[in-house]
Amino acid sequence: MLRRAGLLVAKVLSKLKEEAKPGISTAELDETAMQMTRQAGAIALFKGVPCPYMDKPFPGGICASVNEQLVHGIPSKKVILKEGDILSVDFGVKLNGYCGDSAMTVGIGQIAPDRKKLLVITQRLLAIAIEQMAPGVKWSLIAGMMEAAAKDAGFSIVKDYVGHGIGTEMHEDPKVPNFVSRELLRDDIVLTEGMILAVEPMVNMGKSGVRTLPDGWTVVTKDKKCSAHFEHTIAVVAGGCEVLTA
């Protein structure tokens, strides 16, 4: 059931990757995602999520975050993608009661080399997790490798947002950080067969500090430098793991 939900998310993101070209608005991308979701008989998970700061449920089906925005960007007709932008799209569905959650950052047209490097490194962090995830492995080991890979590239890991368990709900226990915290070392996650995690590294080109804009949703870097986000829903299986949103 989770594979089916994951496959739909993958199909939507791959379609949006094709459509994300200079001149298109993030509202148009949202419309594509909502149409595909409805056609599949699924529910878009992000639409209507209550805002923690004000009475303003999330209006979009996708989160569309451009450049210094890292997550929770609201799709809008006014946000027209330009050559050289980077766009993070986060998307999740519930299909037949089970959830899938995935994110990608794509370049719009030709992008600057430092932005390209940010995308490559952030995707690399997610690849490290996929390479290492297997029953018996402690999450702190993987989180440490991800954190080190970001630092080695001269970037920083976002610490305000983390991955999560996923199943019949979008956000389930445990919390899955992309860095080693004292909390994680005290209460480490030992991966077991059948565990399903949404692993989602967010990497900033500059410093790790982030803040939420007055719209109540859009999260941006404090230093206004670019941020990237890649996420997959991943099942721990005998001998390794399986990406459900590929």
How far is it, in rounded angstroms, from Cα 97 to Cα 219?
Answer: 29
Between the alpha carbon of residue 2 and those of residues 7, 91, 151, 231, the distances in Å are 8, 15, 33, 15
Phi, psi of 69 (to 5 degrees): -80, 130
Q: Binding residue for Mg ion (CB under 5 A) from 28, 30, 85, 90? A: 90
Residue 12 in contact with Mg ion, rule: CB under 5 A: no
Name the segment binding Mg ion (CB under 5 A); options: 48-56, 110-118, 126-134, 195-203.
195-203
Q: Which is nearer to Mg ion, 65 or 208 (CB)?
A: 65
Q: Which is nearer to Mg ion, 172 or 242 (CB)?
A: 172
> Least distance (Å) from Mg ion to the CB of residue 174?
13
Q: Which is nearer to Mg ion, 147 or 231 (CB)?
A: 231
Residue 106 in contact with Mg ion, rule: CB under 5 A: no
> Least distance (Å) from Mg ion to the CB of residue 77?
23
Q: Which is nearer to Mg ion, 52 or 113 (CB)?
A: 52
Residue window 226-245: x/- pattern of binding to Mg ion, with contact defined by CB under 5 A: -----x--------------
Residue 198 in contact with Mg ion, rule: CB under 5 A: yes
Q: Which is nearer to Mg ion, 68 or 101 (CB)?
A: 101
Q: Which is nearer to Mg ion, 103 or 241 (CB)?
A: 103
Q: Binding residue for Mg ion (CB under 5 A) from 66, 101, 189, 197? A: 101
Name the segment binding Mg ion (CB under 5 A); options: 45-53, 106-114, 139-147, 197-205.
197-205
> Least distance (Å) from Mg ion to the CB of residue 125?
15
Size of site (CB under 5 A) for Mg ion: 5
HEC per residue, the chain: CHHHHHHHHHHHHHHHHHHCCCCCEHHHHHHHHHHHHHHCCCEECCCCCCCCCCCCCCCCCCEEEECCEEECCCCCCCCECCCCCEEEEEEEEEECCEEEEEEEEEECCCCCHHHHHHHHHHHHHHHHHHHHCCCCCEHHHHHHHHHHHHHHCCCEECCCCCEEECCCCCCEEEEECCCCCHHHHHCCCECCCCCEEEECCEEECCCCCEEECCCCCCEEECCCCCEEECEEEEEEECCEEEECCC
Residue window 204-223: x/- pattern of binding to Mg ion, with contact defined by CB under 5 A: --------------------
Phi, psi of 89 (to 5 degrees): -115, 125
Residues that bind Mg ion (CB under 5 A): 90, 101, 103, 198, 231
